[in-house]
A = this chain, B = another copy of it.
Amino acid sequence: MSSFVFPARSTTAEIELGTTLQPKFDADGLIPCITTDHLTNEVLMFAFMNAESLAHTLRSGKATYWSRSRGKLWCKGEESGNVQRVKAILTDCDQDVLLLKVESIGGVSCHNGYKSCFYRQLSEDADPSDEASLKLQFVARRLIDPAKLYKK
């Protein structure tokens, strides 16, 4: 899928407590990526990267994902202008997840016009045996009309 090669996985000790990046790409060549605001830690979005998009992110300094729906590299903000400048990249203990800390240019990371994709919270009364109780409440304000975000 990609000609970019990251260091191979080695021992559990090296992966979990070592100092070499050895990311685990799954059978589809993808690794989950959590993106947060570098100042507030707020989770902005969740997406996937492949080796090519990780390499592109490192080279450009701008968050670049792999769009599974479109099957292509997704340079965040290339249409909307809401580019994410990467301030830090972390990985987790078993190196099968990435965490990006970004400066969100424009302040809108969600295609629906919100700062974060996580703009709805499950009701505190949610009961799995009562479908009617499984309600979401909006906990964020829409910052821009999506129609203005993508003005192609």
Contacts and interface: CB of A to CB of B under 8 A. Distances in A.
A78 interface: no
Contact of A21 (B4, B34, B46, B134): B134
A5 to B, nearest CB: 8
A134 B97 contact: no
Majority DSSP secondary structure for residues of A touching B: mixed
Contacts of A40: 41
Interface in A102-121: 110-112, 114, 117-121
Interface in A127-142: 127-128, 131, 134-139
B54 A43 contact: no
A126 interface: yes
Interface in A13-32: 16-21, 32
A99 B43 contact: yes
A150 interface: no
Contacts of A92: 45-46, 110, 117-118
A137 B17 CA distance: 10
Contact of A135 (B20, B118, B131): B20
Nearest to A110: B93
Q: Please provide the 7 A-B residue pairs with the shortest distance between their CB atoms, ordered closest to farther.
A: A41-B41, A55-B128, A92-B117, A21-B134, A90-B118, A89-B122, A46-B97
